[in-house]
Amino acid sequence: MRKIIHIDCDCFFAAIEMRDDPRLRGRPLAVGGDPGKRGVVATCNYEARAYGVRSAMASAYAKKLCPELLIVPGRMAEYRAVSQNILAIFADYTELIQPLSLDEAYLDVTNSQHCRGSATLIAQEIRQRVRDTQGITVSAGVAPNKFLAKIASDWNKPDGLFVILPDQVDEFVRALPVDRLHGVGKVTAERLKRLGIDTCGDVRTWRQDDLLRRFGVFGQRLWQLAHGQDERPVVVERQRQSVSVEHTYDQDLPDLAACLAELPSLLERLAKRLAPLQGQYRISKPFVKVKFHDFTQTTMELQGTPVTPEGYAELCAQAFARGLRPVRLLGVGVRLDSAHDPLHEQLALF
Same domain membership, residue 57 and residue 99: no
Residue at which a domain ends, from 52, 72, 92: 72
- Pair (257, 308) in one structural domain: yes
Please check whether residue 236 lies inside any domain of the structure: no
The enclosing domain of 219 has a CATH number of 1.10.150.20
- Exposure of 220 in the CB half-sphere (CA atoms within 13 A): 2
Residues 285, 251, single domain; the answer is: yes
- What's the half-sphere exposure (Cβ side, CA atoms, 13 Å) at 277? 31
Do both 82 and 40 map to the same domain? no
pLDDT of residue 338: 55
Domain CATH number, residue 66: 3.40.1170.60
Give the model's pLDDT for residue 294. 85
* 276/205 same-domain check: no
Please give the average per-residue pLDDT across 56-81, as a whole number.
93
pLDDT for residue 316 is more than 60? yes
φ/ψ (deg, to 5) at 189: -60, -40
- pLDDT beyond 80 at 252: yes
Mean of pLDDT values over 228-239: 82
Whether 96 and 156 map to the same domain: the answer is yes
For 160-180, write each residue's pLDDT tens digit: 999 999 999 999 999 999 998
Same domain? 185 vs 219: yes
Q: In what order do the strands lie in the sheet with 29-32?
A: 41-44, 29-32, 70-72
Are both 202 and 251 inside the same structural domain?
no
Q: Is residue 309 part of a domain?
A: yes
Is residue 23 situated within a structural domain?
A: yes
Residue 281: per-residue pLDDT = 78
Q: If you average pLDDT over residues 18-27, what whole number do you get?
A: 94
Q: Which residue has the higher pLDDT, 317 or 250?
A: 317
- By CB atoms closer than 10 A (0-12, 13-18, 19+), residue 129 is middle
Choose among 222, 146, 155: nearest CA to 184: 222
**Binding-site residue ranges:** 8, 103
| pLDDT value at 349 more than 80 | no
How would residue 346 be classed by pLDDT, with cut points 50, 70 and 90? very low
Question: Residue 192 above 70 pLDDT?
Answer: yes
Query: pLDDT digits over 109-141, tens only?
Result: 999 989 999 999 999 999 999 999 999 999 999
Overall domain count for the chain: 4
Q: Binding site for Mg(2+): which residues?
A: 8, 103
How far lies 178's CA from each of 100, 156, 227, in Å?
Answer: 23, 18, 12
Residue 161's domain comprises 4-10+76-167
CATH number at residue 265: 3.30.1490.100
User: Which backbone phi and psi does 248 adopt, to 5 degrees?
Assistant: -100, 125
Predicted model pTM: 0.67
Same structural domain for residues 251 and 334?
Answer: yes
Binned at pLDDT 50, 70 and 90, residue 182 comes out as: confident
Q: Looking at the domain assignment, is residue 26 inside a domain?
A: yes
Same domain, 249 and 162: no
Q: Are 268 and 334 in a shared domain?
A: yes
Tell me what the pLDDT averaged over the chain comes to. 90
User: Residue 102 sits in a domain of what CATH number?
Assistant: 3.30.70.270
pLDDT of residue 88: 92
- Confidence at 350, pLDDT banded by 50, 70, 90: very low
Of 127, 148, 167, the residue that ends a domain is: 167
- Residues 338-348, mean pLDDT to the nearest whole number: 45
Same domain, 194 and 99: no
Q: Catalytic residue numbers?
A: 104
Q: Evaluate whether residue 232 is within a structural domain.
A: no
Residue 262: predicted pLDDT:
95
Cα angle: 291, vertex 32, 81; to 5 degrees:
35
Please enumerate, as own/partner, the contacts of 345-350 that have beta carbons within 8 Å and a separation of 24 or more. Answer: 346/283, 346/306, 346/307, 346/308, 347/271, 347/274, 347/278, 347/283, 347/307, 349/307, 349/308, 349/309, 350/267, 350/268, 350/270, 350/271, 350/309
Asked which of 50, 72, 94 is the last residue of a domain, the reply is 72
